């Protein structure tokens, strides 16, 4: 396929969207793949030929995204001008869950869920979590209590999955590092 033909098909795939369980439209998987290739510094137009396994979105919703002001550690600073898609992703090759949100081509959330993280509902439509790796606190403003509750439920589910994956990984490391006993 020529580059221009690939461009046409890629743009057509990126422009398609899928409809979520509540009727909200989200970008297609091709859109996410395109954006991740771009963010990884790879040429997104070659993604059809690459053999890299990409993370798959497993839950998406829309929210206004905020970060705590790094100077005052008190005030919320909006990182999106309007509600954006916020998705949970799962990387089966590394057994890692992440929360990712893009505003255009800019990643405004890229947070790996760890067993020690806590998502806190601070009001009927707002919740937050601290990400020590990113050295920030993220806040999400939802359009309804239902959307907030569903996001919090998924956070807890994936946090538990991350804990189990960490335990399993530690068990494997212990088994491989234990010297073998040879019978006499």
Among residues 64, 63, 42, the alpha carbon closest in space to that of 51 is found at 42
Over residues 99-112, the pLDDT tens digits come to 999 998 899 999 99
- Say if CB 58 and CB 89 are below 8 A apart: yes
Q: How confident is the model at residue 139 (pLDDT cuts 50, 70, 90)?
A: very high
pLDDT at 94: 83
Q: What global pTM score does this model have?
A: 0.67
CA distance 12 to 15: 5
Would the pLDDT of 7 be above 70? no
Q: How confident is the model at residue 34 (pLDDT cuts 50, 70, 90)?
A: low
Domains along the sequence of the chain with CATH: 1-54 (no CATH), 55-170 (2.30.29.30)
- % of the chain surpassing 90 pLDDT: 48
Over residues 67-89, the pLDDT tens digits come to 999 899 899 999 999 999 999 99
Beta bridge partners of 65: 140
Over residues 110-134, the pLDDT tens digits come to 999 999 999 999 999 999 999 999 9
State the average pLDDT over residues 56-66. Answer: 94
pLDDT at 111: 96
pLDDT at 176: 72
> How many CB atoms within 10 Å of residue 50?
13
CA distance 86 to 9: 26
């Amino acid at each position: 396929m020529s580059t221009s033909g690939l461009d046409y098909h890629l743009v057509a795939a990126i422009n398609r969207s899928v409809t979520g369980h509540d009727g909200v439209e989200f970008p297609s998987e091709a859109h996410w793949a395109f954006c991740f290739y771009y963010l990884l510094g790879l040429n997104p137009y070659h993604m059809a030929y690459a053999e890299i396994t990409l993370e798959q979105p497993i839950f998406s919703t829309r929210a206004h995204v905020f970060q705590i002001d790094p100077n005052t550690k008190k005030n919320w600073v909006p990182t999106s001008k309007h509600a954006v898609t916020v998705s949970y992703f799962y990387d089966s090759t590394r057994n890692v869950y992440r929360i990712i949100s893009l505003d255009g081509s800019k990643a405004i959330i890229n947070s790996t869920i760890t067993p020690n993280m806590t998502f806190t509902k601070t009001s009927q439509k707002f919740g937050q979590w601290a990400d020590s790796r990113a050295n920030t606190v993220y806040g999400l403003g939802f359009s309804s209590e239902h959307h907030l509750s569903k996001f919090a439920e998924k956070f807890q589910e994936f946090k538990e999955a991350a804990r189990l994956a960490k335990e399993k990984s530690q068990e494997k490391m212990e088994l491989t590092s234990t010297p073998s006993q040879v019978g006499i």
